[in-house]
Amino acid sequence: MKRRDFLARSIAAGAFTALGTRNLLAENGRMSLPYDLVAVMGGEPDEMFNKAIQSLGGMEAFVKKGQTVVVKPNIGWDSTPEKAADTNPLLVKQIVKSCLAAGAKKVYVFDYTCDAWKKCYANSGIEQAVKDAGGEIVPANSEQYYHPVKIPKGKNLKDAKEHELILSSDVFINVPVLKHHSGPQLTIAMKNLMGIIWDRSYWHAHNLHQCIADFATYRKPTLNVVDAYRVMKKNGPRGISVNDTVLMKSLLVSTDIVAVDAAAAKLYGIEPSQVNYIRYAAEMGVGRMDLDALNINRIKL
């Protein structure tokens, strides 16, 4: 049976109801990790990730043998890596390699792009990086890939259509790039989840910040890895030139999506409480915004 046929039959049988409500967290859970958050500075994207994941027990703490993994970078724009509109391809490549080395059966990579998806995938450098690492890059440009889910704790957002690979995979690794955004101020981990749902125009029309926080109550990635190697400081989210960016050579990793966004906002130069969706999500119990209360491993290369 082809995978497409299997998914169609599963939906008809209601199998996605149970899949859609699970959090896709690592089996060992957040509380058993040695740190709440890891912050690395001063290296290249791949080496910073290696240091961060090693300090959390290795990728084996999150990916078990035979599991299926989705790695979701920001690939929203037809742009080259030096403009920092998309996640750094070296980081994506290393994450895919690490998942496969940990025993993953399959590692899928996708984003619901803003520009033409084939150009975004190619010109960002991510498509080739994924292929070189042994992963599989897949499309997300058609509504047929998305299936209805309920957001039980949402205030403004009560339902959405989510990509089938998120619903059917064992592990979900969220890999945003930190950058300026003309709407919600910053694009980080919670905002990056808009690339796994179809009907995002609703979010913009019904308080974008609240909808971002609402969806975060439902979809909690197994791991969040924030690319802050080169950071767009203006003209986001698309950017105009490399002159819009600064080289920060930083990386943030956490299972707590609120904590990693709070740390990224602070790194960017904005108090987390000034970004509404971060504050809303913290108030809704999605995660922790108070960085002083976290056990943070700071690594300088």
**In the chain, what is the greatest distance between 2 CA atoms, to the nearest angstrom?**
52
**Which of the 8 DSSP states describes residue 113?**
-
Strand 68-73 and strand 171-175: pairing?
A: parallel
Separation of alpha carbons 39 and 30, rounded Å: 17
DSSP-derived secondary structure for 2-20: -HHHHHHHHHHTTHHHHHH
Separation of alpha carbons 263 and 296, rounded Å: 10
What tokens appear for 243 in the block? Answer: 């002159």
What tokens appear for 67 in the block? Answer: 């599991």
Segment 67-101, tens digit of pLDDT: 999 999 999 999 999 999 999 999 999 999 999 99
- Global confidence as pTM: 0.91
- CA 185-82-50 angle, to 5 degrees, is 85
Spans in the chain with pLDDT lower than 70: 1-31
CB 17 within 8 A of CB 162: no
What tokens appear for 96 in the block? Answer: 């895919």
Tally of residues, the chain: 301
In terms of Cα–Cα distance, which of 259, 229, 232, 268 is closest to 49? 229
- CA 27-28-29 angle, to 5 degrees, is 90
Asked whether the bond before 237 is cis by omega within 30 degrees of 0, the reply is: yes
Task: Say which amino acid occupies 144.
Answer: Q
Task: Say which amino acid occupies 174.
Answer: N
Structural domain spans, the chain: 25-300
The pLDDT value recorded for residue 236 is 87
Helix then strand then coil, in percent of the chain rounded to 5, is: 40, 20, 35
**127 backbone dihedrals φ, ψ, rounded to 5°:** -60, -50
Find the helix packing angle between 276-283 and 257-268, rounded to 10°: 150
Coil, helix or strand for 32?
helix
Task: Say which amino acid occupies 255.
Answer: T
In the CATH hierarchy, which fold is given to the domain comprising 25-300? Rossmann fold (3.40.50)
CB 28 within 8 A of CB 128: no
